């Protein structure tokens, strides 16, 4: 026990008997040791003290396979930790942020990430996608505004739906997913439904990669489109007239379940009574709710056309409301795909749920976060990885 270190370190030294034979790692034949080299592994704590195992590991000299390093049963090749230590780390990482786990077990988060990435990648190799028939995908940024990641989910899975995540956004990611699907037993011709947003790049790629699939535009993206349009109108109008204070959050939050502060509620009331174009844009966005509440495909279709017609009349041709006009145009163009959600058998709340997942992954990958660790965390939280430690 080395008590000069804090925390103290218990060192366990393993030696072999002189002249002992060892199994060749290739064929198992017992061979003489060719030579030895010392290796050290961090093991589970001994009480509150760190514990290190150092062993003289032989290389065998097999007649058939030559000189090979023997495998030890307590650690995987190339790791400086025992399997039990890694298992404890992985159990914690599934529950709390990596940085917190690293501090708790006393290793750097960079080293911990290497363990996590190993086990996640290993579990992913066994992912079976032969039953996949419906998929949804969306993009997000690992940091605000850059390093995009596109995440694909199996729309039939209620829990752990993520089946693929890859750096970048747009066309190439769809092709990459198709390759991944094939490598994991899936068939693109079996995919009958794809849920995504209205980006022309995505839609073109989906049409090419999954020609037999019906494309549904998620409602979440329709709302997102108009939320942005309202905000654009607000920004343009702000340059011309004095807007009530707290307008920005008032129009973003109102109706989205967010609770307004007194100031925001006052701003919204003032907007409504004054002749503000932002209020007009906001009312158009709010009317989407009425479209969404339609109970049948027929009613939805009628309500959507009514919404578009009414909104067009409302905005006229002024330049300030151009953002809303553009949003309307996009919806018009994709009306069929948007209405598809009323006939789709798949839940349309999935993409919305994905955004909660992205937030959680960002928080759990805090500290040493880059595209790779962000993707690893998305898999760890939401992919069907099963038991990461089948071998213990």
The residues binding Zn ion (CB under 5 A) are: 24, 26-27, 62, 64-65
Q: Which two tokens stand for residue 122?
A: 């290993």
CB of 66 to Zn ion, least distance (A): 8
Taking the least distance from each CB to Zn ion, the nearer of 33 and 271 is 33
CB of 29 to Zn ion, least distance (A): 5
CB of 118 to Zn ion, least distance (A): 27
CB of 22 to Zn ion, least distance (A): 11
Taking the least distance from each CB to Zn ion, the nearer of 32 and 208 is 32
CB of 27 to Zn ion, least distance (A): 3
CB of 56 to Zn ion, least distance (A): 21
Taking the least distance from each CB to Zn ion, the nearer of 65 and 228 is 65
What count of other Cβ atoms lies within 10 Å of the Cβ of residue 169?
A: 18
- Neighbouring residues of 372: CB distance < 8 A, sequence distance ≥ 6: 117
CB of 68 to Zn ion, least distance (A): 7
Taking the least distance from each CB to Zn ion, the nearer of 11 and 26 is 26
CB of 111 to Zn ion, least distance (A): 33
CB of 73 to Zn ion, least distance (A): 18
CA distance 254 to 276: 16
- Label residues 281-304 b or e (16+ Cβ within 10 Å = b): bbebbebbeebbebeeeeebbebb
* Whole-number Cα distances in Å, 54 to 16, 57, 334: 12, 9, 64
Taking the least distance from each CB to Zn ion, the nearer of 24 and 375 is 24
Taking the least distance from each CB to Zn ion, the nearer of 14 and 27 is 27
Taking the least distance from each CB to Zn ion, the nearer of 57 and 328 is 57
CB of 57 to Zn ion, least distance (A): 17
CA-closest candidate to residue 115, choices 87, 143, 139: 87
CA-closest candidate to residue 46, choices 86, 4, 7: 7
Taking the least distance from each CB to Zn ion, the nearer of 21 and 223 is 21
Angle between helix axes 277-292 and 297-315 (nearest 10 degrees) is 170
- Neighbouring residues of 289: CB distance < 8 A, sequence distance ≥ 6: 255
Taking the least distance from each CB to Zn ion, the nearer of 30 and 37 is 30
CB of 24 to Zn ion, least distance (A): 3
CA distance 314 to 364: 45
CA distance 223 to 327: 10
Q: What is the Cα 205 distance to its own chain's centre?
A: 21
Taking the least distance from each CB to Zn ion, the nearer of 27 and 96 is 27
Taking the least distance from each CB to Zn ion, the nearer of 33 and 365 is 33
């Amino acid at each position: 026990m080395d008590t000069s270190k804090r925390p103290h370190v218990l060192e366990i030294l393993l030696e072999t008997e002189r002249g002992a034979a060892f199994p060749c790692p290739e064929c198992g034949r017992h061979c003489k040791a060719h030579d030895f080299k010392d290796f050290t592994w961090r093991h589970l704590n001994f009480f509150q003290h760190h514990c290190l195992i150092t062993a003289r590991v032989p290389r065998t000299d097999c007649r058939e396979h030559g000189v090979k390093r023997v495998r030890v049963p307590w650690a995987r090749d190339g790791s400086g930790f025992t399997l039990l230590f890694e298992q404890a780390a992985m159990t914690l990482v599934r529950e709390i942020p990596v940085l917190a786990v690293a501090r708790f077990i006393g290793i750097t988060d960079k080293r911990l990430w290497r363990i996590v990435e190993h086990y996640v990648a290993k579990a992913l190799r066994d992912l079976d996608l032969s039953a996949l028939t419906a998929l949804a995908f969306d993009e997000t940024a690992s940091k605000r505004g850059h390093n995009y990641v596109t995440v694909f989910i199996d729309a039939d899975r209620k829990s752990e739906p993520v089946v693929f995540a890859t750096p970048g956004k747009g066309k190439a990611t769809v092709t990459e997913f198709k390759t991944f699907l094939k490598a994991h037993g899936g068939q693109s011709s079996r995919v009958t439904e794809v849920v995504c947003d209205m980006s022309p790049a995505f839609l073109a790629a989906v049409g090419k990669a999954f020609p037999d699939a019906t494309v549904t535009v998620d409602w979440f993206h329709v709302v997102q489109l108009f939320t942005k349009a309202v905000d654009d109108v607000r920004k343009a109008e702000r340059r011309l007239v004095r807007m009530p204070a707290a307008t920005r959050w008032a129009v973003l939050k109102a109706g989205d379940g967010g609770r307004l502060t007194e100031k925001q509620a006052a701003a919204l009331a003032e907007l409504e009574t004054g002749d503000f174009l932002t209020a007009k844009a906001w009312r158009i966005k709010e009317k989407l709710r009425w479209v969404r509440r339609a109970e049948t495909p027929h009613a939805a279709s009628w309500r959507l056309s009514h919404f578009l017609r009414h909104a067009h009349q409302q905005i006229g041709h002024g330049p300030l409301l151009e953002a809303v006009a553009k949003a309307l145009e996009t919806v018009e163009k994709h009306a069929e795909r948007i209405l598809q959600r009323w006939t789709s058998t798949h839940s349309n709340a999935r993409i919305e749920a994905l955004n909660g997942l992205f937030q959680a992954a960002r928080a759990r990958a805090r500290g040493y976060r880059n595209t790779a660790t962000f993707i690893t965390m998305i898999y760890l939280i939401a992919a069907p990885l099963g038991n990461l430690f089948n071998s213990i």
